[in-house]
Structure 1
Amino acid sequence: MAAKPIASPIPVALYPTLSVFTLAIGLVITAIFFIYEATSSRKNRSLGKELATSAVASVFLGFGSLFLLLASGVYV
């Protein structure tokens, strides 16, 4: 049985597009997080909302950074 070469499930041509979109979404969610922190008082803040917003922003920024590295030729 011959081994199959490892291939990406996402076409390489889509890396730059995915990088731009995921980084843009991550930055928008990060901005929403900062606006929420700056405009809400300490009594009205919700830990669950803060954690959820920061987790979603982190995932999008992480994948955006990954695709940016892959699009620029740094294979991680």
Structure 2
Amino acid sequence: MTNPHVVVAGTRRSWSPEQKRAILAEADDPATTASAVARRHGMHSSLLFRWRRAVLAEQQARTASAPPTFVPLALPPPAAAAAERPA
């Protein structure tokens, strides 16, 4: 009988984006650890961290490429007292 906690790294697997999102969501649960999630899915925890970094980089790139939003700003009128001072 094989040990369910042994990660076999001899084969390369392909994960769909949906599978990656589901596994990352499972790893974000505070009741578990990334290594426990990785073992359940037969993968190394370093792969989870690589996926997480890629998602964060993608989100940052999306945010950086977004056009800046306009923020209205109301300034008070110039102070007349500064112009009326004697020289």
TM-score by length of 1: 0.34
Q: Which has the higher contact order (CA 8 A, sep 6+)?
A: 1
> Structure 1 or 2: larger helix share?
1
Q: Which has the larger radius of gyration?
A: 2
